[in-house]
Structures are given as C-alpha cells and as structure tokens.
Amino acid sequence: MDFARKVWKLLVAIKDGLALAFLLLFFIGLFGILSARPHVAPVAEGALLLKLDGHVVEEPAAIDPLQTLLSSELPTHEYRARDLARALRRAATDARIKAVVLDLSRFTGGGQVHMQEIAAALDTVRAAKKPVLSYALAYSDDAYLLAAHSSEVWVDPMGGAYITGPGGYTVYYRQLLDRLKINYHVYRVGTYKDYVEPYLRNNQSDEARTARKALLDALWQDWQDDVAKARPKANIKLVTGDPVGWLKAAGGDSAAAAKAAGLVDSIGTRAEFGDRVAALAGKDTTSTLPGVFAHTGLATWLAANPEPQTGKPIGVVTIAGAIVDGKAGPGSAGGDRIARLLDEALSEDLAGLVIRIDSPGGSVLASEMIRTAILRHKAKGIPIAVSMANLAASGGYWVSTPGQRIFAEPGTITGSIGILAAIPSFEKVLANYGVTGDGVRTTPLSGQPDVITGFTPEVDAMIQAGIENGYARFIGLVGKARGKTPEQVDAIAQGRVWDGGTARQLGLVDQFGGLEDAVAWVARQAKLEDGAWHAVYLGGDANPYASLLERLRGSDDEDAPEAVADFAGIVAARQQDDLARAFSQFERMFGARGAQALCIDCPVSAAPQRRDSAGQGWVALAGRIFAPLRD
C-alpha cells in the first residue's frame, strides 16, 4: 500500500507539472502576442471613425492580462484625451479623410475639460470644411457636449437626448454610525474641507452647500455656454427647465422631443446613418452589409500618424488619479512611481518640464515626494509649467506649487487647500457586547490607539496639532509659489474648491490653456523656435504587461507596507495592527488544540506573515507541487 501511495503521488505530481508547463507556455505566448509591435494597417480614404465605447481619461489605467483573463468581464475601454484631440487635428489636414464620424452609442463620458478639448479639435475639422457626424442611441451630458460640435447630429428612433446638469445628493452616515456606536475621529483644518462631513453629519453644512453650489453653477454655466456657441438652435432651457412638459409635448417620443428642441438634426437607424456617411465619405466596397462606409479606425490612424520626435525634448509627467503611496499606476498616481520617473529623467537633456495634473489629491507623503522630485528638475534651471485638466485639487494643488506658470481651463476644479485625517474607533461597540479593557500605562501614549478603550485626549490633541502643522506647511508652499502671504492664502484656502475661472481671479492659476499651451510656453521660455522641440511623455513607453511578468516572477515588495510619516498615520497603522492582534487572539481562543504556553504580556507582532521573496514565483510553485515526493 505504501508503494501504491507513492506511485499515485508521483502520477499526480507529473500531471500537475505538465499542467504548470502548459500554463507557462500559454502565458509566454500571451505575453508575446500582447507585447508585439502592432501591424500598421493602411489608411483608407473615407471617414475617420471614432467609436468611443468607453471612457475618456487623462491616462488609461494599466491592464493586467492575468487579472483580465481570470475576470468574468472585460475592463472598460479607456481613451486618452490627447490621443483623440491629436487624431482629429491631424484628420483636419489629411486629404484622405473626407469626414469624421463619432459613434457615441456606448460612450460613458469623461471630464468636462477633456470633452471641451476634444470638442475644440472637432471645430478644427469643421473649420477645414470637413463634415462631422455624430450618432447615438441616447445622448447624455458628456456625449452631447461632443455632439453639439458636429455638423450633423443623429439619434436612433428608440433613443433620445437627456441633459441632467451636474450635481446630486451625497449619502450621509452619521445616524448609522451612532446606531452602531462607532466613533469617527476627524482632524481637519479648513471650514470647507467637507470630505468627512458624511461621517459627522446627517446633512450638508451651510458652508459646504455654499461652496458646492458656486462650483457647480460655474461648471454648468460653462457647459451651457459651450453648447450654445457650438449649436445655437439647441433649446437647453426647455429641456432642463421643464423636462416632463418637453417630453409630453412629443407624445413621450424621446427622439422626436430631442429633434423638436433642436438637440438633434435627424432621426434614423444605424444603417440609415451609415448610408448618409457613405454619401459623404464613400462606400465600403469590400462589404455588402447595410450602412457600411469607407473608414479608418482610431488605432490605425494613430499608428499611421505618430507624434513628432524632432528637436529638443520637453518632458511631460502625468499625475492622474488619486495620489497614493507606492508604485500604483498608470491610472492612479503612485508617489514612488512618479518620483522615480522624474528622477530617471534627470539624466536626460530636457529643455523644460510640464506637470500635467488630473487628480483630486490624496496622500500628503506621496504629494510631497512628487513635489521634491519636481524641485530636483527645477534646480537644473529649466522652465517648469503646470497644466491642470479636470481636477487639480488638494494634493493635486500641492504638486503644482513648483510650477513657474499654471495653466487651467474654466471647467477645471482646483484649490481644496486643506488637510484632514479620519480614524474610526470601536470602544462603544465592544463595550455594548461586554468587551472592555484595563491595564497599566507608563505614558499617556502607551498602548495607543487602544481599540478597546479608544483614544486618550493626548492622542487627539497630537493628531490635530500635526494636521494644523501640515496645513501651515501647505499654505506656506502656496504662498511662496504664488507670491502671497500665508494670511492671503488662508483666506482663499480653508479646503474650499474653486472652478478654474474663479481660481484665476484669485491668483491660484495664471492663465487659461491646455496641455499644448503649457508645452508651448515652456518652449518659448527655453528660447526654442517652432519645430525645434517635441514633447516626451515620461513613462509613456512603459510596458503595459509588466504586471504579468511581476506576477510570474514574484515582486520583491508586493506585500511591503505603506510608508507612514505623521502621527495620524502611526495611530492608524497601530490601530490596524491592534485589530489584527485582537482577531488573532479571538481566533486563538477558539482555535487552540491542546495545552498552550503563551505570555499575554509578551509583545507579539500582529503583522501578517509575508511571503519570502525566495518562496514566490513559479519555481517555488513547482516546488510545492512536487513536495509530496519528499514524503
């Protein structure tokens, strides 16, 4: 029987080994296919088709092929805003492109600044006397902002156009937290720093309401002005002022109502729309399907029209998404990753640097890491500009302070100069179930934070002092960068967010303009002639499948803890450790088998067990598979 058992284990090990080998070959092949240089298809004479079946972003998030393979859904398609704008501007001057077609049926939107950037590029196409045609099943705010810049707007007979405007309700949790007896300790500086209000109140504060209304009113007016200029006949006031009456007047037919209000020009099926495009741009002679037309897709068009690489390089670093500690991104702004990109570029002969920001902020530590990396470039004496996209608030403004000139758009959301920290504690919850704590402290900070007994007054005071110090540092950085006293900055800070137009009036922004304007300003400051420079996007050529390789080999710092810089971070980290220790003790109490020799007063690390780097990767996995052979 012992021999049969070992033979069986050997057969199972062989089977697992073969499965592993085939899996390795599969992933190697997948990596080779995905990382291969794409074939550049010929550009067809006809229309440039932008089928936007996803979201427009500043920086597409990295796609992990392994995670995608194991997921039941494909990731949302993300389009880089500057790629779309560049494709349109190039189409305006290329004789092969007879028209531009926007298919917005599955478009999920994007930020207002990005929409206006693309819309301006559509205006360039129309200025070149080339038609722009839009089609959708149903238009929403973002899609309609693009469609309004078309020469012909089509909608499906079963669809319509619905304009809602910005705004909405926020969910508040104060009553729920009270019912659950959870204490939420909030430390902040800034009358308008309302990020934590949902945990402190049951409704919006007057200060937050005032600031939010001013911001949304400005963004909404900017949206209406843009649409009114592009499409004067669109009756936006009718559609938004009395939406029920507007729809009833058309007998409930959304498509007819949209046409009656001047939002769309034609109602037709996709095939009918395609026939119209074919009449303008030419038919697709390779297909007999209805509604087909000669066209070139976005990927083919971009591959056939690469960005210029002549002249002196001007670096552009993108800070997109929440600013977080670590290497996160693209798609989120990992402080370590972006600082490393900047430091690696120090060895390059950059004529200047542009900081492109589309971020609501985040970690103070990561923001400061990025800021100091930018300062290392500034120390070289090169011109540095900041270009704000949809968002450059809080930590997003922190990283803006090294810039010599800040560009934004009227629809940019910026400011929010303030600091906060929030840490929950559960002493009331536990006491309600008979769990209490007692012991001996040698200092007011001993054993703090205590998940059982809560925070001492000293801990609360120290965290608040650290937050106030961080706020003073923040307004000091802004004051030095903007030529203002701390008192002047404090008056426009206090955590309040501003639209780009107001921010310019307040001196937080220097001038209106997009990324191209910022790069051109840097070129002028570097005394470079037109055509004697080009933009280099730092990190833009990073391998999008690197995460797959890291999974295969095992990442050295995959489980590395996040860095902690301030007292609030230390308290939060210790609290998490204490919770882990408490759960561990609870599990030990019910999971122990037999007699135990343990010391309750002896310090035991609550940190989760970390995988040894030598025990990661496919080699270690193979060792575990063949482990039965050692029995």
Read off the pLDDT of residues 474-512 as tens digits, 9 standing for 90 and up: 999 999 999 999 999 999 999 899 999 999 999 999 999
pLDDT for 484: 95
Do 113 and 16 share a structural domain?
no
pLDDT for 411: 95
pLDDT at 104 over 90: yes
What are the angstrom distances between the C-alpha of 48 and each of 100, 258, 399, 419? Answer: 5, 26, 38, 47
What are the angstrom distances between the C-alpha of 519 and each of 314, 512, 526, 530, 535? Answer: 7, 13, 11, 12, 7
Do 328 and 253 share a structural domain?
no
Distance CA 386, CA 148 (A): 29
Do 409 and 275 share a structural domain?
no
Of the ranges 348-352, 406-410, 484-488, 624-628, which one carries the lowest mean pLDDT score?
624-628
The last residue of a domain, from among 255, 272, 304: 304
The 10s digit of each residue's pLDDT in 253-298 is: 999 999 999 999 999 999 999 999 999 999 988 888 999 999 999 9
Q: How confident is the model at residue 459 (pLDDT cuts 50, 70, 90)?
A: confident
Do 140 and 83 share a structural domain?
yes
The reply to whether 182 falls in a domain is no
CB 428 within 8 A of CB 182: yes
CA proximity to 149, closest of 92, 97, 215:
92
pLDDT above 90 covers a percentage of the chain that reads: 57
> What would the mean pLDDT of 395-416 be, rounded to a whole number?
96
Please report which helix (H) or strand (E) contains residue 618, including its range.
Answer: helix 617-625
Residue 394 a catalytic site member: yes
Do 319 and 398 share a structural domain?
yes
Contacts of residue 550, defined as CB under 8 A and 6 or more positions apart, other chains included, come to: 558
The reply to whether 276 falls in a domain is yes
Contacts of residue 294, defined as CB under 8 A and 6 or more positions apart, other chains included, come to: 44, 45, 46, 47, 278, 281, 282, 283, 284, 285
Distance CA 469, CA 419 (A): 9
pLDDT for 541: 58
Of the ranges 327-331, 453-457, 466-470, which one carries the lowest mean pLDDT score?
453-457
pLDDT for 548: 47
Q: How confident is the model at residue 513 (pLDDT cuts 50, 70, 90)?
A: very high
Q: Could you identify the residue written with the tokens 């099943």?
A: 137
- CATH number assigned to the domain comprising residue 144: 3.90.226.10
Q: How confident is the model at residue 559 (pLDDT cuts 50, 70, 90)?
A: very low
The 10s digit of each residue's pLDDT in 70-81 is: 565 666 789 999
- Using CA atoms in the order 476, 482, 487, 492, what is the torsion angle rounded to 10 degrees? -110
Taking the CA atoms of the chain, what radius of gyration do you get in angstroms? Answer: 29
DSSP 630: G
> What would the mean pLDDT of 400-424 be, rounded to a whole number?
92
Within 10 A of 576 (CB to CB), how many other CB atoms are there?
16
Do 613 and 477 share a structural domain?
no
> What would the mean pLDDT of 415-436 be, rounded to a whole number?
84
Of the ranges 88-102, 161-175, 383-397, which one carries the lowest mean pLDDT score?
161-175
pLDDT at 629 over 50: no
The domain containing residue 13 runs over which residues? 1-36+601-631
pLDDT for 581: 55
The last residue of a domain, from among 273, 304, 335: 304
Do 30 and 53 share a structural domain?
no
CB 299 within 8 A of CB 38: yes
Please report which helix (H) or strand (E) contains residue 395, including its range.
Answer: helix 395-398
The 10s digit of each residue's pLDDT in 334-356 is: 999 999 999 999 999 999 999 99
Do 237 and 105 share a structural domain?
yes
Residue 71 a catalytic site member: no
Catalytic-labelled residue, pool 98, 193, 259, 484: 193
Catalytic-labelled residue, pool 332, 394, 416, 425: 394
pLDDT above 70 covers a percentage of the chain that reads: 78
What are the angstrom distances between the C-alpha of 398 and each of 359, 392, 485, 490? Answer: 11, 9, 16, 14
CB 206 within 8 A of CB 197: no
DSSP 232-292: TT--HHHHHHSHHHHHHHTTT-HHHHHHHTTS-SEE--HHHHHHHHHHHH---TT--STT-
pLDDT for 508: 97
Average pLDDT, the chain: 83
CB 262 within 8 A of CB 246: no
Number of compact structural domains in the chain? 3
Do 374 and 248 share a structural domain?
no
Strands 511-512 and 405-408: parallel
Q: Residue 498 corresponds to which tokens in the numbers above?
A: 């501003």
pLDDT for 42: 82
pLDDT for 544: 47
Distance CA 147, CA 132 (A): 9
pLDDT for 4: 67
> What would the mean pLDDT of 502-531 be, rounded to a whole number?
95
Q: What b/e readout covers 402-421, taking b as 16+ CB neighbours within 10 angstroms?
A: bbbbbbbbbbbbbbbbbbbb
Do 529 and 393 share a structural domain?
yes
Which carries the bigger pLDDT value, residue 466 or residue 621?
466
Which carries the bigger pLDDT value, residue 523 or residue 308?
523
pLDDT at 247 over 80: yes
pLDDT for 626: 39
Of the ranges 5-19, 239-253, 343-357, 481-495, which one carries the lowest mean pLDDT score?
5-19
Do 121 and 72 share a structural domain?
yes
Which pTM does this prediction carry?
A: 0.82
Distance CA 64, CA 218 (A): 38
Length of the chain: 631
The reply to whether 210 falls in a domain is no
